[in-house]
Structures are given as structure tokens and as C-alpha cells.
Amino acid sequence: MTDLLVSQHWFFWMTLIPLGAAVAAFLIPAQARWIGLATALVLPFFALAGIAATLITEGQPITGGGWPTPLGIELRRDGLALVMLAITALVGLIISCYAIGYFPARGHHHSRTRYFWPLWLFLWGGCNALFISADLFNLYVTLELVTLASVTLIALEGGKAALTAALRYLFIGLFGSLAYLLGVAVFYGAYATVDLTLLGEMLTGSRLDHAAMALMIAGLVLKSALFPLHFWLPQAHAMAPAPVSAVLSALVIKAAYIVLLRLWFEVFPSLDTIAVGHLLGLLGTVAIVFGSLLALRQERLKLLIAYSTVAQIGYLFLVFPLARNDTMATAWVGGVLLMMSHACGKAAMFMVAGTIHHTAGSDRISRLAGAGGPIGVLVVVFTLAATTIIGLPPSGGFFSKWLFINAALVTGQWWYLPVILSGTLLAAAYIARVLGWAFLDVKRSSYPVIPWVMKWPPLVLALIALVFGLIAYEPVQIALLGAPVSGPLLIGVRP
């Protein structure tokens, strides 16, 4: 039994199954939703099996086809890949269930149903491939897979606004990845390798290295929509159908961020990164405040959630200035924890927003006035999911912010403290604004009945996001397997 568990290459299958299923779903459109659902049901088990196998073998890297490293393509089985595969499998399963209800098999939106499933499965396979990639060029190719699938998913709605948002996202994505690729070319020209570990050992810190680093960081920052390069995100995320918005906000943004996280801690440490870290921290700070303020001003629920994503991305970039010698593990774990809890919380919020749009016929926040009956349930689910965005205990968002604050205090960067606190306050404000409308005492006409698959799956994710802080210890331990960071996890700080 153990031999079987260890001998299987679960992560190959986690990439190949969605890609194969995508082709199948494209060729047999009538069965596309069932192919998609079956894939979504299988992948979490593969993720669990992969985690178990890695815990037994202690995460040795594997190479494609068993060829030795320079020829074979190396795949990572470290903790970061494991937890991201698992959280993607979980969020993907819930989104797939929701999409069954959102995209009906019959009706005038037939073509949307037909194309959603292949594209979503392609995107899923691309994400899984990205998480286990261990060299710069593979990261580029998988990032492009993810971008291409998301562009077409944004265009799924077919209207003018959606097409424009998709094309703008395509240009942005292309620019970002070409800048990244130029950096890869410079590194390859200088060191003749694209392997992350080898490159990290070989970097000499020349000017050319710093130029390549700047290009790669700029490209990835653009792709992960950090302020001031966030301008494309709200339109793209708000125009897409609800399951697509959930996927984009929960997973696609993280794809570029994961690449940056890997580069920062594995390739760039020997370069002079302190100034760059401060710059990223500053941009993150502005993103938190500015994104939250804009979220507060939005009239439409989906745009509000999209701007809230802009703010949450800001938190993710606080990892870079906060990760110093002693606090490296603390900041890194804070970032990983935030990625996971944000993925659950934000996916649930977008799905709820989609259901409200579907039910009330509009996603204007003012239309929520006097929400009761079916919408009342949804507002409760929305609030549960929002706890992790605000950062209330015991959500995962709370613990990651706690870790960030500890790291900020230990490294003496106290100015991040008011930033995190004001971000929390503003998040509470924009969530409270939604609730304020929802609990107005107004009589409303009755709403159509919502199919249960559009109501309960978001609740599952919202609950997971809510209690994530309580169950986070095990995932964090798994994430630290083979992590490029060391040092204690600072839970409590004495001044």
C-alpha cells in the first residue's frame, strides 16, 4: 500500500488529468459539465495522496521521465507546491460545483456552458503545473498557460465590456511575461542554467543580474496587479461570470505571486534586495490603503470585491520587506497563510455576489436594501467569508496579519503597523457598508428560487476561511517542508 502511494507520481497526474479532461470536455460538449465535475472530485484525493507520499519520501525533487537534471525537467515537491495544490483542489472543487448551477445545460447561454469547462480545466492544469515547476522557463510557460486561459474566460460573457477587459488583460499579461522572459534570457546568457536552485547558488551580483532581477520583478508585479499596476484588475474581475471571477481572484493572481515568492527566496537572496523590498513594501502599503478606499466607494458588489482584492494583494507584498534574517520564516508563513485564506474567502465572496446578481437581477449594492429570505442567507455567507478579508479571529487572515505585525516589530519596521491596522479598519468599513444596506428595513418583493448548488458551496468555503486559523498549524508545517526560509515562527513578541 505504502509502495503504491510512494511510487505514483501524483503531481504529474494532477497536471495531466485536468489538461486531458479539458480536451475531452472540448470534444464532447454535451458531457462537459460531468467531465469537469468528475475531475474536480478526483483532484482533491490526488492532492491528499501526493501530500502523504511526500511526507513519506521527504520531498525529493523528481524529474520528468526520470532523466538526470540538465536534460530532464525538474519538478518540485516542496511544501509550497503541496499546500497550493491542495488549496487549489479544494477551491476548484467548490467552484466547479457552483458552476454546475451557474451555467445551465440548456438555455440561451448555451455557448458559455460549452466553453467554460474546457477553459477552466486548462486553467486548473496550468496552475497545478506552475506550482510544481522548478525552473525559470517552465514557470514562464505555465504562467502563459494560466494567462491565456484566464483571458478567454474573461471574454466568456461576450459583451463589449467583457471583450475589452479581456483584450486589455491579454496585452498586460503579454507585456508582463515578456519582461519576465527578457530577464530569463539575461540570466541564461550569463549562467547557462534556468534551474532555480542552481541559479541561486551561482549568482554573482553583477549589474546585469540586478537588471534581470528588475525586469522579472516588474513583469511579475504587473501580472499580480500590485498598485499602481492594478488598473486592469477591477474591470477584468468584475466583468467575468461569477465562477470565473472567483477563479481569477482566488487562484490566477496567486500564480504570478508564487513565481515571485520562489524567485525572491531562492534566486535573489545573494543580490542586493533591501531597497527593492522596501519599494515593494511601499507599493503594497499604497495598495492596501488605496484599494480599500476605492472599495468603500463602489456602487456594485463585484467591483467592491475586486478592489478588495487589490488591497489584499498589497498585504501579500509586505512579505518582501518584512522577511529579514530572523523573521524570514514568520513573514513567509504569513504570506502563504494569507494566500490560502484569501483564496477561500474571496472565492466564496465572488460566488455569493454572483448568486445575488442572479437572484436580484443586479449586483448594485443598493439593490440589497431590505434583503431577506434567500438573499438574507447569502448575506450571512458573505459576512462569514469576509471575516478573513477583514482579519477577524479565528480566520486565517487574522493569523497572517498577526505574523506580519510580529515580523514588523522584530525588524523595527513599525510603520507597517498602522498600515495593517488601517487596512483592517477600512476592510471592516466596506463590508459593513454592504451589511448596512442589506439590513435596511424595507419591504422587498419575493425573489426567484435559487438552485441549491449556487447557495451552499460558497458556505463551505466561507466556513473553511472562517476557521482556517484554528486548523492552520498542519498546513503551515507542510508548507515549511523544504521551504527556502529558516528561523523561528514568531507567535508572540516581547518588546
Query: By CB under 8 A, what part of segment 230-289 binds other proteins?
Result: 235
Closest distance of CB 358 from other proteins, Å: 13
Closest distance of CB 19 from other proteins, Å: 15
Closest distance of CB 137 from other proteins, Å: 5
167 residue type, one letter: L
Among 3, 7, 58, 160, binds other proteins (CB under 8 A): 160
Closest distance of CB 135 from other proteins, Å: 10
Closest distance of CB 272 from other proteins, Å: 22
Q: Interface with other proteins includes 171 (CB under 8 A)?
A: yes
The x, y and z cell numbers of residue 150, run together, are: 484566464
Q: Interface with other proteins includes 56 (CB under 8 A)?
A: no
Q: Interface with other proteins includes 185 (CB under 8 A)?
A: yes
Q: Interface with other proteins includes 202 (CB under 8 A)?
A: no
Closest distance of CB 168 from other proteins, Å: 6
Among 28, 56, 105, 192, binds other proteins (CB under 8 A): 192
* CB neighbour list of residue 62: distance below 8 Å, 6 or more residues apart: 9, 11, 74, 75, 77
The site that binds other proteins (CB under 8 A) totals a number of residues, namely 34
> Do 136 and 187 meet the contact criterion of CB atoms below 8 Å apart?
yes
Among 355, 340, 393, CA closest to 90: 340
Q: Interface with other proteins includes 376 (CB under 8 A)?
A: no
Q: Interface with other proteins includes 164 (CB under 8 A)?
A: yes
Give me the helix-helix angle, 79-102 and 110-132, nearest 10°.
180
Among 319, 403, 315, 308, CA closest to 348: 308
Closest distance of CB 245 from other proteins, Å: 14
Closest distance of CB 130 from other proteins, Å: 14
Q: Which residues on neighbouring strands pair with residue 63, listed in sequence order?
A: 74
Among 9, 112, 324, 364, binds other proteins (CB under 8 A): 364
Is 96 or 150 the residue whose CB approaches other proteins more closely? 150
Site string for other proteins, 127-156 (x = CB under 8 A): ----------x--xx--x---x--xx--x-
Among 13, 175, 439, 447, binds other proteins (CB under 8 A): 175
Neighbours of 452 (CB within 10 A): 9
Query: By CB under 8 A, what part of segment 381-440 binds other proteins?
Result: none
Is 41 or 167 the residue whose CB approaches other proteins more closely? 167
- Taking CB under 8 A as the binding criterion, the range among 28-36, 185-193, 247-255, 347-355 that sits at the site for other proteins is 185-193
Query: By CB under 8 A, what part of segment 299-328 binds other proteins?
Result: 299-300, 303
- Taking CB under 8 A as the binding criterion, the range among 183-191, 253-261, 411-419, 447-455 that sits at the site for other proteins is 183-191
Is 16 or 174 the residue whose CB approaches other proteins more closely? 174
Is 171 or 473 the residue whose CB approaches other proteins more closely? 171
Rule CB under 8 A: which residues touch other proteins? 137, 140-141, 144, 148, 151-152, 155, 159-161, 163-164, 166-168, 170-171, 174-175, 178, 181-182, 185-186, 188-189, 192, 235, 299-300, 303, 362, 364
